[in-house]
Amino acid sequence: MRKKIIAGNWKMNKTPVEAVEFVKENKSRFDCTNVEVVLCVPYVSLQAVQDELKGTNIKVGAQNMHYMDEGAYTAEISGAMLSDMKIPYVIIGHSERRERFSESDTTVNLKTLKAMEHSLIPIICVGESQRQRKEKRTEGVLRKQVTFALDELSPVQVADVVIAYEPIWAIGTGETATTQQAEEACAIIREQIRKDFGQEAASKVRILYGGSVTPANAAELFAMPNIDGGLVGGASVVPSFEKVIHF
């Protein structure tokens, strides 16, 4: 049985003071044992939030990382730095990074390999645009992104990663893929992993849905056999995130 993950992607929201106040006020309601809760907060708040969450089951994650350990990469953060801070999770290849900061399938793969090298659990984002869906290219896009992202990993490593299916057209738009659309996409992702890495890896890897997840649709989405939780954006920076966690 795959343990579900509810990961909150705070994006560029909350100052360090606001972040600590928020988790202090809500951590008792967010704390959970049957679901793995991860708060992916801005870099400047990682340590303070992690300190505030000591003694709870809530994990902390970063929203990005570089694929080099050190060097002349002004303003970047390395996997080595995150590992030294004991940060367990990192989001890689979010569509906003792909679209606005020139992330590519190649850099996503490099970051994934580096994350695994430093024992970080990558939450790898994949998803199609509205145009690609209309052109009936969803399956091809997802298979390509998954294959590229996981290239050079072993089946044992793949079993530990997390994949987040995020239809680009549903991120921050209020538009959500239907439960059936989300399930079909996650099934495609799992099938590609089975094809590339075998049945055992495919049965263990956790696949999340991300794209306007709210308390109203969480239970139906997370009940699907191939959806193992959610990568939640706007709904994760408000107290009602509790209702997503306790779906």
DSSP string, 167-206: -GGGSSSS----HHHHHHHHHHHHHHHHHHH-HHHHHH-E
DSSP label of 58: -
Distance CA 214, CA 28 (A): 20
Q: Which of 96, 128, 166, 183 is catalytic?
A: 166
| The one catalytic residue among 94, 96, 103, 128 | 94
Beta strands in the chain (DSSP E): 5-9, 36-40, 59-62, 89-92, 121-126, 162-165, 206-209, 229-232
Q: What angle do CA 53, 230, 3 make, to 5 degrees?
A: 75
CA pair distance 60, 30, nearest whole angstrom: 13
CA distance 20 to 14: 9
3-state DSSP call for residue 28?
helix
Dist. CA 233–CA 171, nearest whole Å: 8
Distance, CA of 93 to CA of 235 (rounded, Å): 20
For the question of residue 117 being annotated catalytic, the response is no
Report yes or no: 13 and 233 within 8 Å, Cβ to Cβ. no
Annotated catalytic residue 166: yes
Q: How many Cα atoms within 13 Å fall on the side-chain side of residue 242?
A: 11
| Residues recognised as catalytic | 94, 166
